[in-house]
Amino acid sequence: MSVDLSSKPPFRVPRRVPQGPRDTRRHTPKTDFRGLYPRAIKAAFLKLDPRVAVKHPVMFVVWLGTIITFLVTINPNLFGTIQADISQQRILNGTITFVLFFTVVFANFAEAIAEGRGKAQADSLRTTRSDTMARKVMADGSIQEVSSTDLRRGDHVKVIAGDMIPADGEVIQGIASVDESAITGESAPVLKQPGTDIMSSVMAGTRILSDELLLRITHDPGQGFIDRMIALVEGAARTKTPNEIALTVLLAVLTQVFLIVIATLSPIANYIANVLANTSGATVANEFRAGVSVAVLISLLVALIPTTIGGLLSAIGIAGMDRVAQFNVIATSGRAVEACGDVNTLVLDKTGTITLGNRLADELIPVNGHTVEEMANVCLAASVFDETPEGRSIVALAEKLGATLDFDRTMGKGVEFSARTRMSGTDVAGQEYRKGAVDSIKGFVRSRGGTVPDTLDAAYEHVSRRGGTPLAVCKGSDVYGIIHLKDIIKPGLRERFDQLRRMGVKTVMLTGDNRITASVIAQEAGVDDFIAEATPEDKIDVIRREQAEGKLVAMTGDGTNDAPALAQANVGLAMNSGTQAAKEAANMVDLDSDPTKLIDLVTIGKQLLITRGALTTFSVANDIAKYFAIIPTIFAAAGIGSLNIMGLKSAESAIVSALIYNALIIPALIPLALKGVRFRPLTADQLLRRNIFIYGLGGMITPFIAIKVIDILLPLP
């Protein structure tokens, strides 16, 4: 069966812009939703294939029921002669068949729509995926042109300006700028070079703009991040998450329970019919028997089994992945997304996550009898080779204070910052200019035979207390003073941390700053805890410690030395700008390289679970009304007609109304399933109260009203 809706103008679904307070949000890749509905309708019918349908146990039961009701539409006496008007039976059975059929189609449609949206998302990712020719560097150094699909992990490839990067890889030689906008949306080209932690990984589908690079391929074809994400958002490779499996089990059990209830209702009703034959005569008994025909029992079964959630369950799961993709985050599994909702502790790097990446030099505090001008000169000398934003801000401040270089720049040699020495500087003409962590500088000065004045500690504390980062400066054995680097906390973070706290998520800030600075920033940002003077090892320690208490920990990271911690964390979000090692270790990669996104992911994870729970509650709560619609009317001859509290017109009308409601509620809830239940940062108790009220109580009341309305509208006697 095919439905051709292509003549209609293509419907455009407005793209959901991820929410969030960040004003720095970059754009997400464009997704083309044209033709989504026609394709979903077609898919909804294709999914009727029993081989596909059997994967959803609840809906498969409905599908089997449809076939049986279809058979009894053709021959109402298939399962024993019914003492009633055949044509009337046919009409009723036919109507039931029709409604049941559409119940299945609607459920398929829900899944198809979710898949379609995922596919559209995947297509936009896939546009970058076309085969390209790659220059493979052979073992003997020669270059051979091969298709990108023939590249294997470990192969070496050369790319030159204008090429498409053929596969995910790591730069092992060369410096070049790369345009990653096709994937990340970031329009500014990114510099790629080997060796350094950051910026050494390249993604398939991005384009090299200048120079050339030698790459080592890190993934076999179809195994890269994007490939995995494509598979996930399309729903193809989506393995069920633990909670989803547990819920499926519960729904399957409920379905079995009602199968037993309905199967045994047949002999029970037959016994009652015999009772009625004795007490009220054969006519009433026959009427009663006809009222509980096979088609009616199947209708009751379908009304009672949790079709609403059963029909929407996979759509909810796919939509959850889709939402993550819209956020420009690549998740390696649905499990990781669900784990986000469970996170108890967020481990956040201060720099880049809580504060804006660049601290600015704000003030120079000279000690040891030096003047500000003298100190400015030393600061300038120590920072002249420092290309970091901090370094440049120190140069700027020093120059503003009138500092000049008293040596020829070309004669100097930059000393790079390292995590071990925790200082950087310049060696020139036998003089060692250094700036860095106060302890390191103290050690350096002492090692050069100098002494450290008490005023240094006073200045250090002064800066720390104001939440600044103190850097000490020295020239050889002579300490010159403290540079006050000022941190700027990202706007709106405090409120988000408050929300997280209400949701029961603890935030831990990690910083290389000293305790006092860290505590001031921690307080200003509103985080719950902080680890000062943290080394990369501290990161994994804090994660292990929290996990030992049974907590789930999420963290972000980008460097190679973050990799163990990313792997250890339950949710590891790697920055796309980070190293290949970090991305490998993490279970999510943020294409925007925005660590604050971790907070949004918590919300998405929770939303996914809430949507499932809410619709399950709604679905099960609906049963009460369906029972009260169908049982009293079909068993009216047994004298329980006064339980028909809805005052439905007749058994036929009650059954069909309940089934129509049952069918229509599925498409009616598709938007909710796709969008997710709106999440509010409330405590668990508040959330439960709210959701029980809406979906539990609402689930009880809605069908009473809806079935009554349908009953009134139905042109049945």
- Binding track, positions 196-235, relative to another protein; x by CB under 8 A: ----------------------------------------
Q: Are 175 and 209 in contact (CB under 8 A)?
A: no
Question: Which CB atom, from 200 or from 587, has the smaller least distance to another protein?
Answer: 587
Tell me if 200 sits within 8 A of 192, measured CB to CB: yes
Among 12, 446, 678, 689, binds another protein (CB under 8 A): 689
Q: What does the alpha-carbon distance between residue 636 and residue 639 come to, in Å, rounded to a whole number?
A: 5
Closest approach, Cβ 611 to another protein, in A, equals 9
Is beta strand 506-510 parallel, antiparallel or unpaired with respect to 529-531? parallel
Minimum CB separation from another protein for residue 229, in Å? Answer: 23
**Per-residue string for binding with another protein, 617-656, x by CB under 8 A?**
x--xx-xx--x---xx--x--xxx-xx-------------
* Token pair belonging to 508: 């831990």
Least distance in Å: CB of 343 to another protein?
A: 9
Select the residue interacting with another protein from 9, 685, 715, 717 (CB under 8 A).
685
> In 10 A of CB 332, how many CB atoms?
18
Among 13, 146, 250, 396, binds another protein (CB under 8 A): 250
Q: Residues 58, 178, 269, 378: which binds another protein (CB under 8 A)?
A: 269
Give me 57's structure tokens.
Answer: 């146990």
**SS3 call for 21:** coil
Q: Count Cβ atoms below 10 Å from residue 151 Cβ, excluding itself.
A: 23
Query: 143 or 263: whose CB is closer to another protein?
Result: 263
Residue 295 binds another protein, judged by CB under 8 A: no
**Is 243 a binder of another protein (CB under 8 A)?**
yes
* 3-class DSSP assignment, residue 170: strand
Q: Is 481 in the site for another protein (CB under 8 A)?
A: no
- Whether 538 is catalytic is no
Q: What is the DSSP string of 214-254?
A: EEEE-S-TT-SHHHHHHHHHHTSS-PPPHHHHHHHHHHHHH
Stretch that binds another protein, among 324-332, 381-389, 509-517, 681-689 (CB under 8 A): 681-689
Q: How far is the CB of 614 from another protein (least distance, A)?
A: 6
Among 607, 633, 644, 653, contact with another protein (rule: CB under 8 A): 607
Can residue 277 be called a binding residue for another protein (CB under 8 A)? Answer: no
Residue from 609, 659, 669, 670 binding another protein (CB under 8 A): 609
Footprint on residues 535-554 left by another protein (CB under 8 A)? 549-551
CA distance 642 to 649: 13
Shortest distance (Å) from residue 74 CB to another protein: 26
Of 5-13, 226-234, 251-259, 480-488, which part binds another protein (CB under 8 A)? 251-259
User: What is the four-CA torsion angle of 101, 107, 112, 114, rounded to 10 degrees?
Assistant: 170
Query: Which residues are CB-neighbours of 622 under 8 A, at least 6 positions away?
Result: 308, 662, 665, 699, 700, 702, 703
| Active-site annotation holder among 349, 513, 594, 623 | 349
Using the contact rule CB under 8 A, the part of the chain among 140-148, 153-161, 688-696, 702-710 near another protein is: 688-696
Nearer to another protein, 91 or 552 (CB): 552
Which residues are paired to 213 by β-bridges? Answer: 159
For 402-477, strand residue ranges (E) read 413-415, 423-428, 431-436, 469-475
Q: Is 80 in the site for another protein (CB under 8 A)?
A: no
Nearer to another protein, 42 or 506 (CB): 506
| Smaller CB separation from another protein, 209 or 692 | 692
Residues 14, 485 contacting (CB under 8 angstroms): no
User: Are the beta carbons of 619 and 309 closer than 8 angstroms?
Assistant: yes
